[in-house]
Structure 1
Amino acid sequence: MRIIVQKFGGTSVANEEVRKLVVRKVEKVREQGYSPVVVVSAMGRKGENYATDTLIGLARSANKNIAARELDHIMYCGEMISAVIMASTLQASGMDAVMLTGGQAGIITDDQFNRARILKIDPKRISSLVKAGKIPVVCGFQGVTADGEFTTLGRGGSDTTAAALGAALMAEMIEIYTDVDGIMTADPRMVTNAQILDCISYGEVCQLAHQGAKVIHPRAVEIAMQKNIPLMVKSTFSDEPGTLITNISEGDHGGTIVTDRIATGVTCLNNIAQLRIDVYPEESCTASFEVFKLMADNHISVDLINVHPGQIMFTVSGEVVERAAAELQRHGYQAAVTYDCAKVSVVGGGMREVPGVMANFVEALAVKHIPILQTVDSHTSISALVKKEDVQAAVTALHEKFGLAG
C-alpha cells in the first residue's frame, strides 16, 4: 500500500464550501495511486459553534475549575463532529469513507489528561480499511488510555496524530493542510515581504516552531523525522506547492543540503517576563540549584537561562511571572522583574561555525536602537530578549539583515 496521510485543520473543514476543496485534495491523491488516510481538527476557530475553544468555554461556564478528565471528554466532541461531517461529505462524493475516533484508530496514550503523550499505535484497523479500499477519517488530537479513558494531546495535537499515524503506517508522505501557502520566513502580519520557503529541514522547522512559529507543531516534526517521512505544509485554498520538510532540498537535485543557507526564518514569542536574582558569588551554585528546583516544583517553565557568579537570569511566561516571583520571595530570593518582553529569534541550520552571525544579529538591532536585554544561542538559532514595543521593528530588521526577503 502506498499511503499518504492528509491532515486538515479547523479552517479547512469549517463549512460546506471549504469541505468541497478537501474532497478535491483527497481525490487528487487517489488519482495519483495513493491510499489517503485523513485526519481532521475540530471545525472553525474560537467563537464558532464546534471549535475546541468554544466547547472549553461552554464547560467552564458551568465550572471554571472543571476537572481535566471531564474537560477531555468535551474537547473530544469537536473532532468527532468534524470527522463525522467530513466522512459524510466524502461519502456524498462517492468515496467509501469511515470515521474513526483516536481510540478506534489504535492511538494509545498515557493518562495525562489535556496533554497526553502517545505511547503506541496499533495500525491494524486502519490498515484493514485501507486494504479494503476505504478512506479512514480519523479524529485528530485524541487517543485513549490502556483502560479506555478518553485523552487529548494538547495544542497542535492533530498535527501529532497525523505524524504518528504516518509513522505507524509507513506512509510515503504526511500532508498538513492549513490556511497559508506554506511555511514563511516570518509572520506576514509583521513582515510584509516575508517569503514562502520551498524546502526546510526537520531541525530548522522544529526550531522555528519552538521559537513561536505556529504553522506546524514541533512534536509532529520530531515524530516524522524519526522515520524520515517527508512532511508537506500547504494550503487547502490554493494549488500552491507548499513547503517540503525533509533532510534535503526539493527533489534532492544534486544532493544540495537545506542547511547550507545561514538563516531560514525569523520568529518571535510575546508575553514574556525576565527575572534577575542577585546572589553572593560564592553562593551562585547552590542558589542556582534552589531557584530552578523551585520553578520545577511549581511547574513553571523557564527559558533564556543565564547563570553568572553573583547573578541568575531567566524568563518565564507573563501568565506565571507573579507566581514565580512570589515563590522565590517566599524562599528568600528577591527577583527584579522586567515585564512586557518578547523573544525574537533567527533560525538557520547553516549558522553553525560561521563567523559573524552574532555580529550581524546585534548590528541589525543596534542600527534600529533596539536594546537587547538578554541573549541565548545554539548551533541553529540566536535569540534576544527585547521590550514588547520593539518586537515589530526587531523582527523586520533581522529579516532584512539576514537576506530573507528574497
Structure 2
Amino acid sequence: MKRQELPPLQSAQQVIEELKNEERCSLMLASIRNNPEKAFKLSNVENGDIIGEVLNLLEMKENSPDRRECLFTALLFNDVRTEEIAKKEFITTFDQSSLVMAAKRLSFMSDAEKAKFIVPILFADSNVNRTRVAANLLAGNPLLSPKAAIRVCSISDRKNKIPEINTETAHIWIEEMQGPYPEGARKSFLKKPKFMAVLHFWDKMEKSLKLFFIRQCAKSDIGRYNFLFLNVLKYEKDEEIVCAALGYSVKLSNDNIKEAVRQLFNSKSERIRSEAICAFSDKYDWSKLIENETSTDVQCTLIKKMGELSDERYLPVFKRMITDTNWQVRSACAEAFAKLGERSTDTLKELFFNENENVRAAAAKVLFELNETDWLEENVKS
C-alpha cells in the first residue's frame, strides 16, 4: 500500500481547514507533529488558533481510538492550555508513551513550577514508571528541598548532584535508604559516603540497612569503625546482625572487640556461639568450652577450630568426641585427626579396635588418608 504524502503547512487557515476535514485530519496532525515549530509560528503570526483546533479535536475524540494522535500533537505545543492537559495526563495515564509525551510538555515549566507540581508525585504515587519520569524531570532542579533532592537521586537515571550528607540530612538519608527505593538511595549514598553522620541514628535503622552499613564499613577503613562493631557485638539483639559483625571482626585487633567476641561464647544463640568461636583469633583453651557444649553445630565448630590449630594437646578431646552418637561430630573429629597427621596415628590405631563400628569406620578412614594402608591390611585380616 502506497504511503500517503503529508500535506504541507502553508497557512494557519489551511491547517485548520484540513483539521476539520475528517478524511484529511489524521494526515494534517501527522504534518504538525513532523514540524511543530512551523505550526506554532503559523498560529502566532496569522492569528489562526491551530492549537485551539487541535484541542477541540482532542475533546471530540475523548473516547475514540484517534485520541492518542490528537493528544501527542497537542502536547508538542508550549501553550498554557496544553500545560493543563499535560498535567492531567501525567497523573492519570498508565501508558508509557503518553507519560513520556506529557513529561516533554511539562519540561517547559520553570524550576519553581516543576517543583510545586511534581514533588508531591514523588512521594504519593506508587507507579514506578511515573515516579521515575517525575524524578528525571526534577533532576538538577536547584529549588528542591533536601528530602526531595535525595528522593530524586534515588529514582532518577539522570546525572544528579548528590545532596550533602551531614547531621541535618542524615535522618533523611536513612529514611530514604529504607524507603520504597532503597537500592537507588544506597547507591547514591555510596558515591560520597559519610558513615559517621548516619551511624549515630543506628537505632532508627531497619535490619537490612544495618547489614548494609556493616558491610560497607568493613569494605572501607574498618579500623575507623571499631565503635560500631563493638556496640553491635555488645548490645545488638538481632542474631543475623551480630553474626555479620562477627564475620568482619577478625579484621580488628582491638582488645575491646576481642573481649566482646569472647563474651559471646556464652550466647544463648547457637549460631552466635559458633560465629564467635570462628572469629576469635587469640589463644584460648577450647577444650574447656566443649565440655559443657550441648549443641552439635557448636561442638563441630569447636572441633574444627581445634583441628585447625594442629595442636596435639587436643588429641584427648578428639578421642573422646569421636565416640559421639552424632555422625557430624564424628566426621569433624576425623578431619581434626587428619590435620594432626602422623601425630594422631597411635590414637587412631587404638580407636580402630573400638567396640563401636562407627568409631572403627571413622578411624579406618583417617588411617587410610594418612597412608597407613599396610597396617590396615594386616589388622583387617586379623
TM-score if structure 2 supplies the norm length?
A: 0.24
Larger proportion of strand: 1
Q: Which has the higher contact order (CA 8 A, sep 6+)?
A: 1
TM-score if structure 1 supplies the norm length?
A: 0.23
Bigger radius of gyration among the two: 2
